[in-house]
Amino acid sequence: MNFKEFEEYLDANLGSKSIFFEKAMDDQLRRNSRRPPAKRWNEAKLERAVNRMWTDIVRSIYDKFKTTINTKSSDPYQAWIEFFEKNEALENLDEMMNDLEFE
């Protein structure tokens, strides 16, 4: 599974993605309120920052999983799915996202 497939899989199967976006936007709004008025970001820039945060966390998770999953199997995509199911990875990611706090 390449990164794009992984990201699409999480988009389709991770229930807490919306929670992450909500928490990340709240964090960006707090940061934005501390900026001088002339340097405050508009809504589009805030959304891009949140999307970048999502991509960064997904990339980090992907890189950690990639070292553990046997990608030399006859069906590497299926190896990823089996890893997720065997290790309850989606459930653990959902829990992690629910517990996530920004400082």
pLDDT for 7: 93
Rounded to whole angstroms, the Cα distance separating 18 from 83 reads 24
Q: Indicate the pLDDT class of residue 15, thresholds 50, 70 and 90.
A: confident
Percent of the chain exceeding pLDDT 90 equals 66
Q: How many domains, the chain?
A: 1
- Over residues 4-29, the mean pLDDT reads 93
Task: Give me the domain span that covers residue 50.
Answer: 3-99
Q: Which two tokens stand for residue 54?
A: 């999502």
- Over residues 8-20, the mean pLDDT reads 91
Given a cut of 80, whether residue 22 has pLDDT beyond it is yes
Other C-beta atoms closer than 10 Å to the C-beta of 99 total 9
Rounded to whole angstroms, the Cα distance separating 102 from 26 reads 9
What value does the mean pLDDT of the chain take?
91
- What distances in angstroms separate CA 101 from CA 32, 93, 98, one per listed residue? 17, 14, 9
The pLDDT tens digits for 35-85 are 999 999 999 999 999 999 999 999 999 999 988 887 777 888 888 999 999
Given a cut of 90, whether residue 9 has pLDDT beyond it is yes
Rounded to whole angstroms, the Cα distance separating 15 from 72 reads 29
Burial class (CB in 10 A: 0-12, 13-18, 19+), 56: exposed
